[in-house]
Amino acid sequence: MDFVVKLMFTLTLALIASLSMELVVGARSDWQWSNKHNKLNLLESGDLVINLPGQPKVDFQHHAGYVTVDEKNGRALFYWFYEASTLPDEKPLVLWLNGGPGCSSVGYGATQEIGPFIVDTDGHPLKLNPYAWNTEANMLFLESPVGVGFSYSNTTTDYDNLGDDFTANDAYTFLHKWFLKFPSYRSRIFYVAGESYAGKYVPELAELILDKNKEPTLLINLKGILLGNPETCDAEDWKGLVDYAWSHAVVSDETHETIRMFCDFNSNNTWSNNDCSQAVDEVLRQYKEIDIYSLYTSVCIGNSTSSGGSEQTSLQVMFRSTSKMMPRIMGGYDPCLDEYATTYYNRPDVQKALHVSNGDHLKNWSICNMKIFDDWSDSKESVLPIYKKLIAAGLRIWVYSGDTDGRVPVLSTRYSLSSLGLPITRAWRPWYHKKQVGGWLQEYEGLTFATFRGAGHAVPIFKPSESLAFFSSFLRGESPPFKRY
């Protein structure tokens, strides 16, 4: 009996030792794998993207899925996160937002501009973007607010309340819950970037982060913001739009003179003046003949009469007499990318890979939600007071402008920034990329402004190499080259 007991005890010890060794080996193997791949934890692994249809082979991980920002209402925002392609543990985290309001950061920023995978042709595989911004940073793309792209709410009244403040608060909640999924990024240097109507989203979110950072438990390590062709101040944006149209021969002298005489864009009654309203309508009619987002490139002549949407902006009066605008492409790029993206993201296998659906019950993805755009209930007339607050807080603020964009043209941005009255620390001068003039640049106390020569509204589409170099300069806090090296 004693022998049997001893034998069983010995076998038990051996089994425990064997299991312990497996656990240790397994743990060591898991640790090595997770250390190699940015300490992947269980929450992260649930959103890991594998088998994305048509994806080129890469050495970095990417994750996509939902973060619930309101449990009671069932409100969830969709994100797509790409690790930096090299040294992700050492590089900052950048949140990218597109505008509209109502347009997808996945469909534009990630798919057409700065993401690592670009939709190549209608419904066919992706191609690798050699100028992807995740070569310099960990990139997080957010479809915001609910109703944009794959983001949704189970409470219909949420869609009635959408506006700037609603969007900023949900984005802030998203960030904190996202950091629970990815805790290794919690204290990472953080920037917010975006273009077009995100010219309002980005500073509004940055201000909210600053205010909330006063509570130590909610600290986000925000260091700066980067804005491309941004809506900034409604009055200056409108003035810049019509002046740019005239100066680039889109409208006649007579139309421009009528606007100059009868339009007071600082007034709450601008559109009650018939002379003003009709003259502005004439500007918009002329822009319907070309691509307002890129004056000198072709429009998409596809299978349908409209492009399926584009990153329009929230000055609602502007589009009362216009159809959906065309995408913004320059030589070497397909002007029908909006349509290709729509086809791709409505594929069952793509939605399954992105953890959007199980492949059977598809979500209807569109690049822009025009109902959100039309019903937008809360838009700040100007975010320039927020600029002043962010500058006072010492944040890095860089603003850039493609100089062939007619929608939020370089004149609009120059008018807006001029009204801040900031002291100039380095005068207007060209900046260079590969020994060529990339654009012009002026540095102010607390803000840097640059143009991109020959680029439209979505600058990285037109000038991918230049924009990546500029982004790298922004992250380093160093001025772009101002000599032909």
State the catalytic residues.
196, 405, 457
CA 221 from chain center: how many Å?
19
**How many Cα atoms occupy the beta-carbon half-sphere of 97 within 13 Å?**
30
Q: What is the greatest pairwise CA distance in the chain?
A: 112
Q: Residue 194: CB partners within 8 Å, gap ≥ 6?
A: 96, 97, 98, 99, 105, 109, 201, 202, 226, 227, 228, 230
Angle at 30 between CA 25 and CA 35, to 5 degrees: 125
340, 119 Cβ separation under 8 angstroms: yes
- In sequence order, what E strands does 310-407 have? 396-402
Q: Is 193 left (phi over 0), alpha (psi -120 to 50) or beta?
A: beta
Per the DSSP assignment, residues forming a β-bridge with 118 are 127
Alpha helices in 213-252 (DSSP H): 234-247
DSSP string computed for 84-118: -SS-GGGS-EEEEE--TTTB-TIIIIIIIISSSEE
Q: Residue 150: CB partners within 8 Å, gap ≥ 6?
A: 66, 78, 106, 143, 345, 351, 354, 356, 363, 365
The β-bridge relationship of strands 447-452 and 396-402 is: parallel
Among 195, 197, 190, which residue's Cα sits nearest to residue 213? 190
